[in-house]
Amino acid sequence: MTPAPDRDTANAEALRRLGAAEPVLLDVRPAGEVVPGFTRDTLLTSGPTLPWADYIGGQRAAVIGAALFEGLAGSEAQAEERLAAGSIKVRGCQELNCVGSLAGPYSASMPVFVVQNRGVGIPAGNFAYCSIYEGTNHRRLNYGVYDQGVHDRLRYVGEVIGPALGEAVRAAGGLALKPIMANALHMGDDLHSRNTAASLLFCRELFPALLAMAASRREAAERVVRALTEDHYFFLRLSMAAAKSSADALTGIEGSSVVSAMAFNCRGFSIRVAGLGEAWFTGPHATVDAVLFKGHSQDEITWMGGESPITETIGLGGFAQAAAFPLQKYQGGSPEVMVKRNLSLYDITVGENPDFRIPFLRYRGTPTGVDIFKVLRTGIHPVMNIGIAGRDGGQIGAGTVQAPPECFQRAAEAWRRRYGDG
């Protein structure tokens, strides 16, 4: 048993680090070039790493699709064989400081955002990575679909958008993401299911670099602008990378009971805790309240992973619903429900974010830093805004989910084994 520092002191340090976080976008490069440990035969997917045999449904299909896209196999059967033999390695995204949307498939050639947390008093070298949004089509690799259309869009992102966007980011000298995110909260975003304002604000910050590019390569600049503005989801991947770099600063705070990551895979929902290192604590799938696209039904809903709840980990997404009333049209609910839900989350967090503020709540800081013991004591579970996947692949809707209690119970048991009764 490790003698613990005072838990309140440790959790106050966790809140300080979340408030001090300053995520900066530095570059856009292929994952195999910039992510330490990412080899040619590596594929990443969301959630705690599982044996290949345990991956099912859309998450399994997404990994196979990534293997085919990368040219690691010539057919689905060959991909299955190589994955089972281990000659193609499957790892959880967060083993390599990446964060995955839905199934979260990554291969070496896919471009990623390179984000560093440069906050004062944050451990040095705090990098995080996230892949680029595939586009507006509901059939996407991260939703368990791989066909010629998906292949072509991924190639377009990798060969056209990624290089030109990376050039613009480097020309701009990098971009601070936190000011964009804070302003977007004041414009109706939650930085998870709604990123309309953030995508436009990000584009505005890149305008000088894009205009310079357009002087000699107008088509490349126009394609980047189109990718940034055709859909409000583009900034989500930047929000995720910013949140990952912020939340990773909590790892190793002895005695802290603050959640440092939340994620799904096809088997369940899991959390990490700041004072318990990189261990995952797993429970069943979350409960969901969804609004489905026309032509779809509740029995189609399936789970294939997802690490976008890293945004809720730092006080965004479901923890900022009262800033994003436009979401009621997309994922259901009402302003009254959003406010009530948002207010309840202050009871399970250690404090308020000093920079992410909700205008409707008189600019109160978002509830930040989920405390596993407060979750268990109150019975209030973290709420997350997510996209909903269908059993046949693709996105079929959007909604809110609540984390299951079992993962918090298991984390609390591990905390007590390590630190005593606290």
pLDDT 10s digits, 369-405: 999 999 999 999 999 988 888 887 778 888 888 999 9
Which stretches in the chain have pLDDT values below 70? Answer: 1-4, 124, 422
- Report H helices in 218-284: 218-229, 236-247
132/128 Cα distance (integer angstroms): 13
Range 220-252 burial, b when 16+ CB lie within 10 A, else e: bbebbbebbeebbbbbbbbbbbbbbbbbbbbbe
CATH-assigned architecture of domain 7-240: Alpha-Beta Complex (3.90)
- Let me know: does 24 contact 176? Beta carbons within 8 Å: yes
> What DSSP state is assigned to residue 241?
H
Spatial distance between the Cα atoms of 295 and 303, rounded to a whole number of angstroms: 19
Range 176-180 contact pairs with CB under 8 angstroms and sequence separation of 24 or more: 176/22, 176/23, 176/24, 177/23, 177/24, 177/25, 177/115, 177/238, 177/239, 177/242, 178/21, 178/22, 178/23, 178/242, 178/355, 180/205, 180/235
Q: Where are the domains of the chain?
A: 7-240, 254-419
Q: For 254-419, give the CATH class.
A: alpha beta
Angle between helix 196-214 and helix 162-171 axes, rounded to 10 deg: 80
Residue type (1 letter), 389: A
CB 256 within 8 A of CB 13: yes
pLDDT of the residue at 3: 65
| Contact yes or no for 157/69 (Cβ under 8 A) | no
Which residue is associated with the tokens 């009333």?
325
Distance, C-alpha 241 to centroid of its chain:
7
Q: CA 382 to CA 404: how far, in whole Å?
A: 9
User: Do 7-240 and 254-419 come out as alike in CATH topology?
Assistant: no
Quickly count helices (H) and strands (E) in the chain: 15, 16
pLDDT of residue 370: 98
| Angle at 126 (CA atoms; ends 26, 158), nearest 5 degrees | 40
